[in-house]
Chains A and B, each alone.
Chain A
């Protein structure tokens, strides 16, 4: 049997941030490092020559728009939750999830477009890199969609409101990050193609 311990609260603590939120930011750093490594590898490899040139699928422009829309909807949901506007929160969150799924479908069609161009995963690294960028980003985005759905379910249990914003805040941070990550990747590809 453990000794009887009576722990007492200290009111003042040198807290900078909610630990879980902080941990999320650190997690984002690791994702940044993965993509920083991959995009650097892309540049290093490209500079060595023997590099297949092809057109980026135009659908990337549409998916970029969709991912921005999705972020906007989530931001709307977030501010609705702050004002305890539960209906607005649910609509915003649902739209955000829908746009997220639409983005994933769009990315799938970008692969179809690549195949039509005769650019395959197996072949010149120039094409392989594109599949890795989009694929790895999509894997992260799927986890983001799951996260959003979990938050959406908890809104129907009345667990998200102005006094309990942590989960929604974390979901919003993660989702905005993923959108920004895609925009970075797209811009990177436009500039280094």
Chain B
């Protein structure tokens, strides 16, 4: 029988000396352990990624092979394949809508932040668990419920929401507009409301934990960049998701109660609707006030993971630690003042457009600082090409190639030509979609040993990486050309347009590449589940990393560290420090223990440190006496 007196930092949280009986339900289903919740998020996110990817394969088939006979999909899609074997055009719109919604929210927001913020925040800052384990559990189950509702909406007779993932009114507000705007849209709104509640609960927990529950010595200037990224992601979410809620609330009133917030002067079949005085652009403003920060909610955690993985596997301190933090902060602030660059062609005042263009282009500065720092960290490092490292370098590559096109799109004059073309699709799939996805995969490869105590197979990881990396470029690079040629996104078919015919082969190529890339993900899935049970047993610190999570036992229990939580004495990037015996010095090693490698200013800190350690000793002794 296990006796655990889980003593947290506050008496109110003290579990006392009661016994823990973890049965199957409390351990694997309604768990309050942040590590188990993280795994739940990961597996759910993988399910959604698979589904979202599969939907994209379906519409890529339509785009690449418009004449194809898709009758073989009828067992799965039923009536959405018509008698001639073609995909139903309204279902095509549903496919792109659901692909966007699933990937942006369920995979790259919940799957990424949910997994790694939950898993790494307590482990890397030295906390027993999240500030509120219960709220954390609730956050996951609201997400799960939201997913169930979204999933059900896929099987409706009228189809799921089809107005694009941005659900602009009036398309999303009027049932007559498109079949998916009926029950499908209602379920979309219900699911998203639950999702917002889940994200906010998660975010409140992450912020509270990072601020209040850091272990002794873990000052903000000693935090790993992963934690900085997760922390700022949560801050962005906390400020932007409520705005989406407000937008959705008004949309619900317009849809179900007959108000006219977004609707005005609409004629359907010659009949005027009663709604007057609404403004659809109002919705766009509210939506993009979330929508743009959402891009960074998706991207920042991936950037944080990359910082950690690249520094560890270059065996070098991260270049410009403070510059990294300042650029993260800069991106956080700027993300809230650029939303209207999504609306250059919405009829807004061109002068306002110029202001938003200016602010948008400023984001290039912190982004470039980050890229520069990644490259300079890699420069002349003792690179170890683990799969996680490869995926992180892949992220940097996508961040550069996708980021450059952002400068084109951020410029309002060029955006008028490129708006809503495949150029935009190529841009955000590289910089936000693929980059974040690669960050997530890198994180899985890197922290798999901590999650399951076993290693993933590296060879399969390399195969997975090369197919995916090359595949992503094969898919999205040609899209730039298609976009410049003027192909609008979300169109079911272009075969009716003369100018579009010459690109049929390019579209075919993109579709084949997409299918191959999608198929390659099954290598990862196999590797993941096989290694979970049959993988090589991991050592305690397989990557020889400095951060706190590697000081826990191989299978950390609920509470993470048996006995005392380790104290922190140095920043997390002491790799290859001149004079040191090994090429890494964990954060838990006091400066006083490494006089041979201390820098002059660190030598001075040793005195302070010794005093603190003496105090701690006294606390320990008094605690021992109490227990």
- Chain A interface (Cβ < 8 Å from any Cβ of B): 1-20, 22-23, 26-27, 29-31, 33-34, 36-38, 41, 44-45, 48, 50-52, 121-126, 128-129, 132, 136, 166
Interchain CB contact under 8 A, B213 and A10: no
> How distant is the Cα of A100 from the Cα of B257 in the complex, in angstroms?
28
Q: Does B211 contact A (CB under 8 A)?
A: yes
Interchain CB contact under 8 A, A5 and B559: yes
Of B64-72, B247-255, B397-405, the stretch lying at the interface with chain A is B247-255
Interchain CB contact under 8 A, B563 and A19: no
> How distant is the Cα of A9 from the Cα of B278 in the complex, in angstroms?
59
Cβ of B24 to closest chain A Cβ, rounded Å: 13
> How distant is the Cα of A18 from the Cα of B12 in the complex, in angstroms?
9
Q: Which residues of chain B from 592 to 617 have any CB-CB distance to chain A below 8 Å in the complex?
A: 615-616
Across-interface contacts of B282 in A (CB, < 8 A): 41, 44-45
Q: Which residues of chain B from 261 to 311 have any CB-CB distance to chain A below 8 Å in the complex?
A: 261, 264, 276-279, 282, 285-286, 289
A-B contact pairs, 18 of them (CB 8 A): A2-B557, A8-B624, A10-B564, A13-B216, A14-B219, A29-B238, A34-B242, A37-B286, A38-B246, A41-B261, A44-B279, A45-B282, A50-B276, A121-B253, A122-B260, A128-B253, A128-B261, A132-B249
Beta-carbon nearest neighbor of B4 in chain A: A5
Q: Which residues of chain B from 1 to 59 have any CB-CB distance to chain A below 8 Å in the complex?
A: 1-7, 9-10, 12-13, 20, 22
> How distant is the Cα of A22 from the Cα of B242 in the complex, in angstroms?
18
Interchain CB contact under 8 A, B9 and A6: no
Across-interface contacts of B135 in A (CB, < 8 A): 23
Interchain CB contact under 8 A, A33 and B243: yes
> How distant is the Cα of A12 from the Cα of B207 in the complex, in angstroms?
21
> How distant is the Cα of A129 from the Cα of B253 in the complex, in angstroms?
11
Across-interface contacts of A16 in B (CB, < 8 A): 211-212
Across-interface contacts of B243 in A (CB, < 8 A): 33-34, 36-37
> How distant is the Cα of A136 from the Cα of B242 in the complex, in angstroms?
13
Interchain CB contact under 8 A, B257 and A121: yes
Across-interface contacts of A37 in B (CB, < 8 A): 242-243, 246-247, 286, 289
Across-interface contacts of A23 in B (CB, < 8 A): 131-132, 135, 204-205, 208
Across-interface contacts of A125 in B (CB, < 8 A): 259-261, 277-279
Interchain CB contact under 8 A, A19 and B277: no
Interchain CB contact under 8 A, B260 and A26: no
Across-interface contacts of B208 in A (CB, < 8 A): 19, 22-23, 26
Interchain CB contact under 8 A, A122 and B238: no
Across-interface contacts of A136 in B (CB, < 8 A): 249
B557 partner, pick from A3, A45, A52, beta carbons under 8 A? A3
Cβ of B567 to closest chain A Cβ, rounded Å: 9
B246 partner, pick from A6, A34, A121, A124, beta carbons under 8 A? A34
Complex A-B, nearest 8 residue pairs according to Cβ-Cβ distance, in ascending order = A33-B242, A37-B246, A19-B131, A37-B243, A9-B7, A13-B9, A34-B242, A122-B258
Across-interface contacts of A132 in B (CB, < 8 A): 249-250, 253
A6-B563, A34-B242 known; A122+B2 contact, CB < 8 A? no
B620 partner, pick from A8, A20, A36, A126, beta carbons under 8 A? A8
Interchain CB contact under 8 A, A7 and B7: yes
Q: Does B578 contact A (CB under 8 A)?
A: no
A17-B212, A18-B10, A128-B260 known; A2+B558 contact, CB < 8 A? yes
Q: Does B342 contact A (CB under 8 A)?
A: no
A6-B562, A41-B282 known; A15+B238 contact, CB < 8 A? no
> How distant is the Cα of A6 from the Cα of B128 in the complex, in angstroms?
12
A16-B211, A19-B132, A27-B204 known; A6+B260 contact, CB < 8 A? no
Across-interface contacts of B128 in A (CB, < 8 A): 7
Interchain CB contact under 8 A, A41 and B250: yes
> How distant is the Cα of A50 from the Cα of B264 in the complex, in angstroms?
11
Q: Does B619 contact A (CB under 8 A)?
A: yes
Cβ of B265 to closest chain A Cβ, rounded Å: 10
> How distant is the Cα of A14 from the Cα of B208 in the complex, in angstroms?
13
Across-interface contacts of A1 in B (CB, < 8 A): 1-2
Cβ of A42 to closest chain B Cβ, rounded Å: 10
> How distant is the Cα of A14 from the Cα of B615 in the complex, in angstroms?
15
Beta-carbon nearest neighbor of B204 in chain A: A26
Across-interface contacts of A26 in B (CB, < 8 A): 203-204, 207-208, 238
Across-interface contacts of A22 in B (CB, < 8 A): 131, 208, 211-212
Cβ of B3 to closest chain A Cβ, rounded Å: 7
Q: Does B565 contact A (CB under 8 A)?
A: yes
A8-B564, A45-B282 known; A124+B238 contact, CB < 8 A? no
Which of A3, A10, A17: most chain B Cβ within 10 A? A10
> How distant is the Cα of A50 from the Cα of B279 in the complex, in angstroms?
11
Cβ of B192 to closest chain A Cβ, rounded Å: 15
Cβ of A31 to closest chain B Cβ, rounded Å: 7
> How distant is the Cα of A17 from the Cα of B211 in the complex, in angstroms?
9
Across-interface contacts of A50 in B (CB, < 8 A): 264, 276-277
Which of A7, A33, A36, A129: most chain B Cβ within 10 A? A7
Q: Does B245 contact A (CB under 8 A)?
A: yes
Q: How does the 8 Å CB contact mask read for B71-87 relative to A, with 1 for contact and 0 for none?
A: 00000000000000000
Cβ of B578 to closest chain A Cβ, rounded Å: 31
Q: Which residues of chain B from 219 to 245 have any CB-CB distance to chain A below 8 Å in the complex?
A: 219, 238-243, 245
Interchain CB contact under 8 A, B132 and A20: yes
Interchain CB contact under 8 A, A29 and B563: no
Interchain CB contact under 8 A, A121 and B250: no
Interchain CB contact under 8 A, A7 and B5: yes
Q: Does B357 contact A (CB under 8 A)?
A: no
Cβ of A172 to closest chain B Cβ, rounded Å: 17
> How distant is the Cα of A33 from the Cα of B243 in the complex, in angstroms?
6
